[in-house]
């Protein structure tokens, strides 16, 4: 049985049964590709009768001549590549995401090791040593072998690898809580997506759940967003856009042709689609164009204790809860209070007794520069946007205001990091 080595040392080796050659090793089949260190289920043998699958428990040894010795003749045909993960066909020379290094690299070789009686994929070789090994440098003699061994290896542990491949979605539908790409910050994931070809970028997005994909989308430039929407399809794109912060979602929709915009909105739930239709109406460089509908609103008759209980319930779906906005049944803004004020108040105090009534607000058509100036003047984290009759429309957060007025030459040098909020406002 194999102990430890590289698949480049094993492919093309002769396969024998009772000293009788039957073919050569062509590939390796991986059973559970989502595992941190997946097991190799078997070998793909190229025989005169075609490709055959040999399970690992039928492999007896690798003899002194370098032949792979089988116990029985492999009769089962090799599974279709579209349904399984093959180490050579799917991964060698393919790009992967080095999650810990936060970059895209190319696999030159793959290291396997026998652990607990099972052959497992343990690392990817992305360095020159792996490439030279693949080129068959050993065939040039011992003089070259010592030079190859002296070249530093560039190895990535397999649990830090996120392969990029087109696969059957039902076979490689990954959970964001388990998937390695989820370990990356959204801006890092966006940078990686930006380095890939259109097909590879779509493959990466296809391996993410909607929320993680939305996080990354918010950090992509408009052209990359539009390209990805074309590649992943209207239904999936709509699911992702629904998870984006509403102002980012509206900015993206505004970049699209009217017909495509309408198709995406038609795939969304009616409430979210209605909000986005309203936001798209406003020019980008106004308060309405900057605002998000992601805010926490409360009614004045609640006690602080009841409000805190409700905030605990909604915390997983709302990140911006520094300010709580008090509204009536018609969404007219009555007041606001900070989370600090809420926590310091008596549990039995009513919201309308502790809220701040003298609020600074802006109208939806106020220029972005004036919005940013107002936020800076009053040292605010967010600024409510209201219509002329006082009905609340949304808020402009400080980060979005800064983005809007940042000089273009500086913006080009900085990663586009924006606060991530759920794409609906939350009532308590």
β-partners of residue 21 are 16
Grouping H, G, I as helix, E, B as strand and the rest as coil, residue 342 is: helix
Closest CA to 162 of 192, 141, 199: 192
Closest CA to 208 of 255, 168, 172: 172
- So what's the pLDDT on residue 385? 97
Indicate if 300 and 275 belong to the same structural domain: no
Element holding 129 (H helix, E strand): helix 128-134
- Residue scoring higher pLDDT (180 or 123): 123
> Is residue 166 domain-resident?
no
Indicate if 179 and 153 belong to the same structural domain: no
Indicate if 28 and 128 belong to the same structural domain: yes
Indicate if 21 and 128 belong to the same structural domain: yes
Tell me the Cα Rg of the chain: 29
Share of the chain above pLDDT 70, in %: 79
Residue 135 domain boundaries: 4-159
Q: With a cut of 80, say whether residue 200 has pLDDT above it.
A: no
User: Can you give the CATH number for the domain in which 99 is found?
Assistant: 2.30.30.240
> Is residue 169 domain-resident?
no
The string of DSSP codes covering 154-200 is -EEEGGGEEE-----TTTS---TTT-GGGGS-HHHHHHHHHHS-HHH
Span of 43-52, 147-156, 168-177, 237-246 with lowest mean pLDDT: 168-177
Domain end call among 220, 247, 281: 281
Indicate if 342 and 381 belong to the same structural domain: yes
> Is residue 286 domain-resident?
no
> Is residue 305 domain-resident?
yes
- Per DSSP (E only), the strands in 94-154 are 95-98, 103-106, 109-115, 118-125
Indicate if 122 and 209 belong to the same structural domain: no
Domain end call among 248, 281, 314: 281
Span of 41-50, 169-178, 340-349 with lowest mean pLDDT: 169-178
The string of DSSP codes covering 227-290 is HHHHHH-HHHHHHHHHHS-HHHHHHHHHTS-HHHHHHHHHHS-HHHHHHHHHHHTS-TTBHHHH
Element holding 145 (H helix, E strand): helix 142-150
> Is residue 246 domain-resident?
yes
Supply the pTM of this predicted model.
0.61
Indicate if 145 and 203 belong to the same structural domain: no
User: Which two structure tokens, joined as six digits, stand for 33?
Assistant: 């590709």
User: Can you give the CATH number for the domain in which 182 is found?
Assistant: 1.25.60.10
Grouping H, G, I as helix, E, B as strand and the rest as coil, residue 86 is: strand
- So what's the pLDDT on residue 3? 65
Under a CB-based contact definition with an 8 Å cutoff, are residues 404 and 285 in contact?
Answer: yes
> Is residue 304 domain-resident?
yes
The strand pair at 95-98 and 103-106 is best described as: antiparallel
Question: How many domains does the chain contain in total?
Answer: 3
Indicate if 42 and 12 belong to the same structural domain: yes
């Amino acid at each position: 049985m194999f102990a430890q080595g590289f698949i480049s040392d094993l492919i093309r080796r002769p396969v024998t049964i009772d000293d009788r050659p039957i073919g050569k090793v062509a590939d390796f089949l991986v059973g559970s590709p989502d595992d941190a260190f997946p097991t190799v289920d078997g070998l793909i043998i190229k025989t005169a009768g075609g490709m055959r699958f040999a399970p690992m428990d039928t492999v007896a040894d690798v003899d002194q001549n370098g032949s792979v010795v089988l116990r029985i003749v492999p009769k089962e045909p090799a599974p279709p590549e579209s349904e399984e993960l093959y180490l050579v066909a799917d991964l060698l020379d393919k790009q992967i995401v080095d999650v810990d290094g936060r970059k895209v690299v190319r696999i030159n070789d793959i290291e396997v090791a026998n652990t607990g009686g099972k052959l497992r994929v343990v690392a990817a070789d992305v360095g020159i040593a792996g490439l030279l090994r693949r080129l068959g440098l050993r065939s040039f003699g011992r003089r070259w072998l010592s030079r190859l061994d002296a070249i530093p290896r560039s190895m990535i542990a397999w649990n830090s690898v996120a392969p990029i491949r087109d696969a059957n979605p039902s076979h490689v539908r990954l959970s964001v809580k388990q998937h390695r790409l989820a370990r990356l910050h959204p801006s890092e994931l966006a940078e990686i997506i930006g380095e890939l070809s259109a097909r590879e970028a779509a493959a990466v997005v296809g391996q993410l759940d909607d929320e993680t994909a939305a996080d990354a989308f918010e950090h992509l430039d408009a052209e990359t967003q539009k390209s990805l929407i074309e590649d992943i399809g209207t239904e999936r794109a709509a699911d992702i856009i629904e998870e984006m912060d509403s102002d980012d979602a509206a900015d993206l929709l505004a970049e699209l042709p009217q017909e495509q915009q309408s198709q995406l909105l038609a795939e969304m739930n009616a409430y979210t689609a209605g909000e986005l239709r309203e936001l798209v109406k406003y020019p980008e460089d106004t308060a309405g164009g900057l605002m998000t509908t992601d805010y926490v609103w409360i009614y004045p008759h609640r006690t602080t204790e009841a409000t805190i209980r409700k905030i605990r319930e909604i915390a997983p779906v709302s990140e911006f809860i520094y300010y709580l906005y008090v509204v009536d049944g018609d969404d007219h803004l009555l007041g606001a209070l900070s989370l600090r004020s809420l926590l310091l108040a008596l549990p039995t105090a009513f919201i309308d007794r502790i809220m701040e009534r003298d609020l600074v607000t802006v109208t939806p058509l106020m220029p972005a520069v004036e919005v940013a100036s107002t936020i800076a003047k009053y040292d605010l984290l967010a600024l409510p946007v209201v219509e002329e009759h006082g009905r609340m429309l949304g808020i402009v957060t400080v980060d979005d205001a800064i983005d809007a007025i940042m000089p273009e030459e500086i913006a080009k040098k900085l990663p586009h990091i924006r606060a991530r909020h759920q794409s609906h406002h939350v009532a308590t």
